[in-house]
Structure 1
């Protein structure tokens, strides 16, 4: 089971690290009595989803749908979140004062965030310098050991079809970049699971 987790929110039973059923950690009366609660679809909206995806280090929310990742038993989170969309954590958001008593079966929030991958500086959103966000930082990817087959993994994450061009661009000086473990990528893992911190002046441009 894939699972992305922080101290207060997690996505479970998803198909990737950035998808799953949303659960929030509840603390009841004392710090030793805690459990994870699903959130009712009626109490959650797009702005709330933006905060969760950011908190988990993923890209923007792409799918928000109840029961997408399985049915769930109680307990349920009982208050409605009222995020502005700019908060850094879901539990920083305001929530409604009144408790919800019931939530229909199949109404637990299922959330899919996009992978934190982007192309910058190109003619379209599907062309440019490949950058990946990890541990809070957007950094370019080194040209090390790339071909069209491996580049297609990034294109898939960007919803851009297949890779048609992989070009090495030399910068004037070395900087902190990501090197991507090609064996890891070929095993079917996500790009952000395959990152190695590196210094290089050779940057990858992708179309």
Structure 2
């Protein structure tokens, strides 16, 4: 899978926004109902971001057509969203406005500051 099969739009960075998935050269919105925390973990990893911090529908704008018609069923360990299993049946239960809004933590949110001394002082 090419790494450009998912993107987050309208957010403040690459790591936040409204989720779209690329398939057959076109981008589709993803319904909030078809997406969960495990799916979010995969998207954040695929984008090279830290783990998901906020998963909330319509945070970054409403669903726009076309809408992805299947439910993602990720285990959370896949390296790309399109590697995940998805429900076989297409569903059209997406209520307007309920697009996946996702904020991953920035890749540099997790870091050790101040060198060894800060860790060495812990637990004494």
Partner of 2:11: 14
Q: Deviation per CA, 1:129-167: give whole Å up to 9, x if none.
A: 4xxxxxxxxxxxxxxxxxxxxxxxxxxxxxxxxxxxxx9
The runs of 5 or more residues in structure 1 that have no matched partner are 1-5, 28-33, 121-126, 130-166, 168-207
Partner of 1:65: 56
Partner of 2:46: 55
CA distance in 1, matches of 2:15, 2:4: 16
1:19-168 to structure 2, matched below 5 A, reads 19-27=16-24, 34-117=25-108, 118-120=110-112, 127-129=113-115
Partner of 2:120: none
CA distance in 2, matches of 1:85, 1:110: 18
Q: Deviation per CA, 1:143-192: give whole Å up to 9, x if none.
A: xxxxxxxxxxxxxxxxxxxxxxxx9xxxxxxxxxxxxxxxxxxxxxxxxx
The runs of 5 or more residues in structure 2 that have no matched partner are 118-124
Q: CA RMSD in A?
A: 1.8
TM-score normalised per structure 2: 0.85
Tell me the CA shift for residue 119 of structure 1: 2.5
* Matched residues, number: 114
CA distance in 2, matches of 1:46, 1:128: 32
Tell me the CA shift for residue 7 of structure 1: 2.1
TM-score normalised per structure 1: 0.52
CA distance in 2, matches of 1:128, 1:85: 32
> Which has the higher relative contact order, 1 or 2, with Cα contacts under 8 A spaced 6 or more apart?
2
Tell me the CA shift for residue 128 of structure 1: 4.6
Q: Is the 8 A contact 2:30 2:63 kept in 1?
A: no
SS in 1 for 2:111: strand
